[in-house]
Amino acid sequence: FKSRLPAPDSGDELADLGQSFNTLLDRQQRAYEQQRRFAGDAAHELRTPLTVLLGQMDVALRRPRTAEEYADTLGVLRDEANELQQIVESLLFLARTSEDATLPGSESIELAEWLPRYMERWQNDPRRGDLQLEVQLPPNATVSAPPALLNRLLDNLISNAAKYSAPGTPITVTATGSADAAAISVADQGRGISPEDQATVFEPFFRSKSARDAGIAGTGLGLAIASRIVAALGGRLECHSELSRGSTFTLTLPTRLSQPPQQPRLNEPP
C-alpha cells in the first residue's frame, strides 16, 4: 500500500491511469483495514466468554465440590458456551453470505398471508410486550426469500425493539406496499439511538455506549446480519430514531404480484 503512483496533473491518459490506480489502492486499503478491524473485534468478543469459561473451570477444579456446586458451575459454563456458539454462528453467517449472494432455499412468499403467521411465533414470548401488526399490502404482493432468513431478519428487529424499550411499551410492525415494493417497519418507543450512532449502527460489533452502560446483553452482530440479508434480497434497511423517544427500522423489499387463482367460468368445459 506504500506504492502509490505520483499523480502528475498534466491531464493526459497516463495521469488518468495513475489516478485510477491510486483510487483502487485506496479502496483495497480500506477493505483491508475493515477486515483487520473485524478480526480484532471478533477475537475480542470471543475472548470475554472464553475467559469466564476458563475462570469457572479453574475455580471448580481447585477444591472438591458438592454435586450441587458442580451443577451450578455447569449451568454457568453452559450459558457462556451458548454465547460463544451464538457469536461463532453469527460470524460464520457473515463470512458465508456476501451482499450479492444467491440465497439457497428461496420461495415465493405472500407477505399479507405470511406476516400474521410469522407473528404467532411471538405469541408466547415473554419479551413481546405490546406487539401489534398492521398490514396494508396488496393481498398477492410476493417476495422471493428463504423463509428462515425472513424469520431471522424480523426476529432481529423485533427482539431489538423489545430489548431497548421498557417492558410492555408498544412495538408496532407495519407492512405497506405497492405492486413492486413492500416496506416492513418495526417501531418502538424505547431508548432511541443518537444521530452519530445511527451512522454506524449496521456495522458488525457496533453497540451504543448507552446500551453497554445499561448492561443490556448483546454482541453487536444482529443488525449487521439483518442488513446483509436485506442486501442479498435486493432490498434496503434504514433506521430512523430519536433519543429517548424510540426507533423505527424499515426494510424495503422488491415484490411481484402473484397471479390470483383463475376462477373457472360457468358453462365452460373443465
Q: Considering the rule CB under 6 A, would residue 171 count as an interface residue with ligand ADP?
A: no
Neighbours of 47 (CB within 10 A): 10
131 phi, psi to nearest 5 deg: -95, 125
CA atoms of 174 and 166, how far apart (whole Å):
20
Q: Considering the rule CB under 6 A, would residue 161 count as an interface residue with ligand ADP?
A: yes
Interface segment toward ligand ADP; rule CB under 6 A; list 95-103, 104-112, 159-167, 227-235? 159-167
Is residue 253 within 8 Å of 233, Cβ to Cβ?
yes
Q: Considering the rule CB under 6 A, would residue 252 count as an interface residue with ligand ADP?
A: no
Going by DSSP bridges, is the β-strand pair 236-242/246-254 parallel, antiparallel, or unpaired? Answer: antiparallel
CA atoms of 239 and 229, how far apart (whole Å):
16
**Amino acid letter, residue 22:** N
Nearer to ligand ADP, 91 or 223 (CB): 223
Among 146, 147, 218, 234, binds ligand ADP (CB under 6 A): 218
- The runs of H, that is alpha helices, within the chain are 13-62, 67-96, 111-119, 147-163, 195-198, 209-213, 222-232
Number of amino acids touching ligand ADP (CB under 6 A): 22
| Closest chain position to ligand ADP (CB) | 218
Q: Considering the rule CB under 6 A, would residue 219 count as an interface residue with ligand ADP?
A: yes
Interface segment toward ligand ADP; rule CB under 6 A; list 23-31, 57-65, 160-168, 252-260? 160-168
Minimum distance of ligand ADP from residue 38's CB (angstroms): 14
User: Which residues in 193-212 contact ligand ADP (CB under 6 A)?
Assistant: 193, 201, 206-208, 211
Q: Which DSSP symbol is given to 237?
A: E
Nearer to ligand ADP, 147 or 218 (CB): 218
Cell 473485524, residue?
38
Q: Where along the sequence are the contacts to ligand ADP (CB under 6 A)?
A: 156, 160-161, 164, 188, 190-193, 201, 206-208, 211, 218-224, 247
